[in-house]
Structure 1
Amino acid sequence: MTSPTPGRVYLIRHGQTPWTITGQHTSVTDIPLTPAGEDEAKAIGVALAHVTFELVLVSPRQRTQRTAELAGLSQQAVIEPNIVEWDYGGFEGLTTAEILQARGDGWDLWIDGVVGGATPGEHAADVYARARAVLTEVKNIVRDGGNVALVAHGHFLRSLGAAWVDLPVIDGRKLALHTGTVSILGYEHGHPVIISWNIPATGYSSCDDSVNGNAQP
């Protein structure tokens, strides 16, 4: 029996928010999209209108839910708490420059993690464990030929991208990810690969077989 052509995982980072403009760490703070962020979400919908999804997982935060809604994915959406953003704990709302100034050292989120605050905070290993748990379900669908969309957040999706290709979580810091972008994970000759990364929705073509979920492995 011939195995089905594997599907794809579409990683959608939510649209711009006031805090992504200022560079403030945003996890549990539930802020809306800016008008530009709403435009980004609509562009994602246009870019992915030709893709059929077996599963759409969306973070419970309003910025991701609104992105899914404007992208035309809300009817299929399943709210998945495991794909929320890295819990920044006491660093919530601070910029990297503010954290570095307060600590007086060479702080790196991926190595040093965060301190507790209104929430306990997470270290990279915690986020990586959540990402791997999500991928356990996702990989089964993709291997059977289905496409999956994850509408989530920057640091979480960077961790998940590393997990997909079996890299250590710290390598997620090499995967820059902007708002309103789509990245695609899949398989090549049976091996998990990153097909495209950090592509603005306007950069996709609906005629491009490399992103339509139907290309051969």
Structure 2
Amino acid sequence: MDIWLVRHGETDWNLNRRVQGWTDIPLNQTGRDQARRLAASLSGIPFQHIYTSDLSRARDTGKAIADSTGTPLSTTPQLREQYFGQAEGLNRQDKDRRFPNGAPDAETPSMVEARVSEFLTEIAAKHPTGRIVVATHGGVVRAALRWLGQPDPVIHNTSVTCLRVENGVFSVSVVNAIPHLQARTDDESTAGIS
């Protein structure tokens, strides 16, 4: 089976390089357009289910895909971004200056990795075949890649990262694909993702 990890569309806090974490910041106009373009590019692809973070920026990105593909959708707090505690709302520079070792009440990267790996293992067991979408956050995608021994790449808004699961073994087939954002028209295919 395949799990397509989708990062949410852009928010104003992404633009201003502010730490979002669990703060529920909505998609901005660019983010809504990115989600619409991604959804249009996926419209002919059959998915069994879409799982999303319960934060609106990821949930709305997943809902755009669900509306375009007719796929059922469920939300879960397991797919939330890393919790940054007192650092949430600060711009990245201020966060690094005030909390060089991370905010004391923040979730650690290893905690996020454990949460994400548990979720991915559960859905792989629940859906042994087919294709699943997970609409989530950049930190969750990076945690999944770390869990699978991959480096920490940049993850663009509405990018698709594909995991393959065969006989319970996970592998990475695509990282940070954004053909829908590079396309000149909405009927551009998702070549290289499927």
| Match of residue 109 from structure 2 | 124
Q: If the length of structure 2 is used for normalisation, what is the TM-score?
A: 0.85
> Pairwise mapping of residues 21-40 of structure 1 onto structure 2 (< 5 A)?
21-40=15-34
| Match of residue 181 from structure 1 | 159
- For residue 115 of structure 1, the aligned residue among 104, 115, 120 is 104
**Residue identity opposite 2:189 in structure 1:** S
Say yes or no: does 1:211 pair with 2:186.
Answer: no
User: 1:185: how far off?
Assistant: 1.1
- For residue 122 of structure 2, the aligned residue among 121, 137, 152 is 137
- Residues 175-208 of structure 1 show CA distances to partners (whole Å, capped at 9, x for unaligned) of 2101121111115898532211112141586373
- Contact kept in structure 2, 1:113 and 1:124, CA below 8 Å: no
Percent identity between the aligned chains?
24
- Residues 28-53 of structure 1 show CA distances to partners (whole Å, capped at 9, x for unaligned) of 22121111101100111122122212
- Residues 102-135 of structure 1 show CA distances to partners (whole Å, capped at 9, x for unaligned) of 35xxx3xxxx44322xxxx201121011011101
Alpha-carbon distance change, 154 to 58 in structure 1, aligned in 2, over 3 angstroms:
same
- Contact kept in structure 1, 2:124 and 2:165, CA below 8 Å: no
User: 1:162: how far off?
Assistant: 2.2
- Residues 62-94 of structure 1 show CA distances to partners (whole Å, capped at 9, x for unaligned) of 111211222335851111110101000011011
Give, in whole Å, the separation in 2 of the partners of 1:90 and 1:207: 39
Q: Secondary structure at the match of 1:72?
A: helix
Give, in whole Å, the separation in 2 of the partners of 1:24 and 1:124: 18
Alpha-carbon distance change, 139 to 92 in structure 1, aligned in 2, over 3 angstroms:
same
> Pairwise mapping of residues 33-182 of structure 1 onto structure 2 (< 5 A)?
33-73=27-67, 76-103=72-99, 107=100, 112-116=101-105, 121-141=106-126, 144-163=128-147, 165=148, 167=149, 174-182=152-160
| Match of residue 200 from structure 1 | 178
- Contact kept in structure 1, 2:177 and 2:193, CA below 8 Å: no
| Match of residue 215 from structure 1 | none
Give, in whole Å, the separation in 2 of the partners of 1:189 and 1:176: 29
The number of residues matched between the two structures is 187
Give, in whole Å, the separation in 2 of the partners of 1:47 and 1:206: 6
Give, in whole Å, the separation in 2 of the partners of 1:25 and 1:207: 30
Structure 1's unaligned 5+ residue stretches are 1-6, 213-217
**Residue identity opposite 2:124 in structure 1:** K
Q: If the length of structure 1 is used for normalisation, what is the TM-score?
A: 0.77
- Contact kept in structure 1, 2:141 and 2:161, CA below 8 Å: no
Structure 2's unaligned 5+ residue stretches are none
Give, in whole Å, the separation in 2 of the partners of 1:12 and 1:100: 27
- Contact kept in structure 1, 2:179 and 2:190, CA below 8 Å: no
Moved over 6 A (4+): none
User: 1:16: how far off?
Assistant: 0.3
